[in-house]
Amino acid sequence: MKELINTTTFRVRFSEVDSLRIVWHGNYLKYFEDGRDAWEAQYGLNSLEVYEKYGLLAPLVKTNIEFKYPLRYNETGLIETTFINSPAAKVIFRYKIFNADRTQLKVTGETVQVFMDTENILQLNTPPFFEEWKRKMKLL
Amino acid sequence: MKELINTTTFRVRFSEVDSLRIVWHGNYLKYFEDGRDAWEAQYGLNSLEVYEKYGLLAPLVKTNIEFKYPLRYNETGLIETTFINSPAAKVIFRYKIFNADRTQLKVTGETVQVFMDTENILQLNTPPFFEEWKRKMKLL
Amino acid sequence: MKELINTTTFRVRFSEVDSLRIVWHGNYLKYFEDGRDAWEAQYGLNSLEVYEKYGLLAPLVKTNIEFKYPLRYNETGLIETTFINSPAAKVIFRYKIFNADRTQLKVTGETVQVFMDTENILQLNTPPFFEEWKRKMKLL
Amino acid sequence: MKELINTTTFRVRFSEVDSLRIVWHGNYLKYFEDGRDAWEAQYGLNSLEVYEKYGLLAPLVKTNIEFKYPLRYNETGLIETTFINSPAAKVIFRYKIFNADRTQLKVTGETVQVFMDTENILQLNTPPFFEEWKRKMKLL
């Protein structure tokens, strides 16, 4: 099966670093979001559009993160975002954050999103637009 | 004229401190917001209610901040928020942040907000609800 | 075995809420930190002191979070922080975030910290100060 | 006199946007910092190096910001950072944030930094390294 992977980079801001001179751990969720946004742009899924066209939101319900090595101020991080295809009505991504030249794996993680309509009702079945997208991507 | 002042406290989080082991300067705007919220609660102005009842938002259009002494991790800050009455259709607050026992003035600042309706039209005249509130507070 | 639990509260700031009008998921790690700080204060472990006296840091190496229901602007959250005793040289906490009256469990999570000296060497054995603290707490 | 200006861009993150679907005002100070970092890289002043070589820090003592139009999620902002030469021992920058195609001025601001040594003593005279840099830049 084809893997849908995006690679993008980000720069560590001074305001993202803590008093140990390393990125404060919660900020890696911002970099995961950078990865997800770049992935969406590459593979033609757009959460704003999904909301406007289909009235569906995709809130996070779960995340886990492993911090192996820290990033520091002004460093460039490289984030690799992989879509994990699932039969459930979920959107799952795995993330790997490396240093700029990709010689050291710094942080790994996963996020799980579900679909909810505008009345906050959880969608138990994969929404049609998502099935269609999966077919186009040869994931079904 | 009566001064409408609120005093409240906050604790500095680890994530709010930078690599110089002092509060990152931009975080003082969060403490100003703590002060504004506590002031609103004390004097019966509630921005959520104003939005729901009157369809008015009060975005910030201006701020200035002076950083005299830094706050550090786990310190308690005391913030004094003063409403500055103005004939213009503006909401102006001045802030003083002290250490917990009020022996050192750490940071001062000001914010200016205007009123906008839900179509982003600037309100040039003081909205009726605000005039009424001012009368109740003996500011008119 | 005795459970070491702390309960504390926090207020959701406007700046912590996203465009869906719910707390942005990454901010729950700040509330976990509030819980950890309050727990430390209650049970006499102080990370600043540990660093100054013993030259040891306790960086996070792992976290997982489950988001069940969202918190909103100006809501008070109640966080319950439980120390998970482990024979390994690790500091493990579990967190439960409720609404203020504790009728709804909003978010759960766990963090794992290790000990490192000032040269970033991982401590494979439980540091003596921590063993001593555990004995005092009747955890050994 | 020659103007030392840098222009760089940034993308607005989802986590930087508030419940009004516009960038939360305090986050513009992060974009100012992006501008300052890019300016430093262009003109050969590096605050980390200044600290390591000369033991000098440059904390912010003052800022003011005017919010004219908001930026939104996923928008690209363009920030123009201008060094304001001053005879005082200060580092002054002015910032202009535009939309990506520079057709709308969104936010303007200024920051003032001073020099402090590692014992937090304010430097009343322009430090020699800064005078030398100014000469190299033809500002003296």
Whether residues C14 and B33 touch (CB distance < 8 A) is answered with yes
Kindly give, in sequence order, each residue whose CB lies less than 8 Å from that of residue B42, ignoring residues fewer than 6 positions away: B6
Name residue C23's beta-bridge partners.
C17
Contact across the interface for B19 and A24, Cβ inside 8 Å: no
Query: How far apart are the CA of A23 and the nearest CA of chain B, in angstroms?
Result: 10
Amino acid A2: pLDDT: 79
CA–CA separation, A122 vs A24, rounded Å? 32
HSE-CB of C135 using CA atoms within 13 angstroms: 7
What interface predicted TM-score (ipTM) does this complex get?
0.96
pLDDT at A67: 98
Q: How confident is the model at residue A1 (pLDDT cuts 50, 70, 90)?
A: low
> What pLDDT is recorded for position D48?
87
Q: D33-59: per-residue pLDDT in tens?
A: 999 999 999 999 998 899 999 999 999
**pLDDT for the residue B38:** 98
Is 70 exceeded by the pLDDT of residue A121? yes
pLDDT of residue B2: 79
Answer yes or no: do A33 and D13 touch at CB < 8 A. yes
**A105 touches C: beta carbon within 8 Å:** no
Q: What is the mean pLDDT of residues B98-118?
A: 97
Percent of the residues in chain D that have a pLDDT greater than 90, as a whole number: 95
- Mean pLDDT value of segment B31-60: 95
* Per-residue model confidence as pLDDT tens digits over B54-83: 999 999 999 999 999 999 999 999 999 999
Tally Cβ neighbours within 10 Å of residue B10.
21
pLDDT tens digits for range C77-128: 999 999 999 999 999 999 999 999 999 999 999 999 999 999 999 999 999 9
Partner D contacted by C12 (CB < 8 A):
no
Q: What is the tens place of the pLDDT at every residue in A39-80? A: 999 999 998 899 999 999 999 999 999 999 999 999 999 999
How confident is the model over A13-39, as pLDDT tens digits? 999 999 999 999 999 999 999 999 999
Residue B44, C-beta contacts closer than 8 angstroms, at least 6 positions apart:
B133
Which pTM was predicted? 0.97
Whether D62 sits inside 8 A of B59 (CB atoms) is: no
Does residue D1 carry a pLDDT above 80?
Answer: no
pLDDT at B27 over 80: yes
How far apart, in whole angstroms, are the C-alpha atoms of residue B71 and residue B77? 7
Per-residue pLDDT tens for C7-49?
999 999 999 999 999 999 999 999 999 999 999 999 999 988 9
Q: Where are the alpha helices (DSSP H) in chain B?
A: 28-43, 47-54, 128-136
Domains of chain A: 5-136 (3.10.129.10)
CB neighbours of residue A7 within 10 Å: 16
Q: Across all residues in chain B, what is the average pLDDT?
A: 96
pLDDT at D131: 97
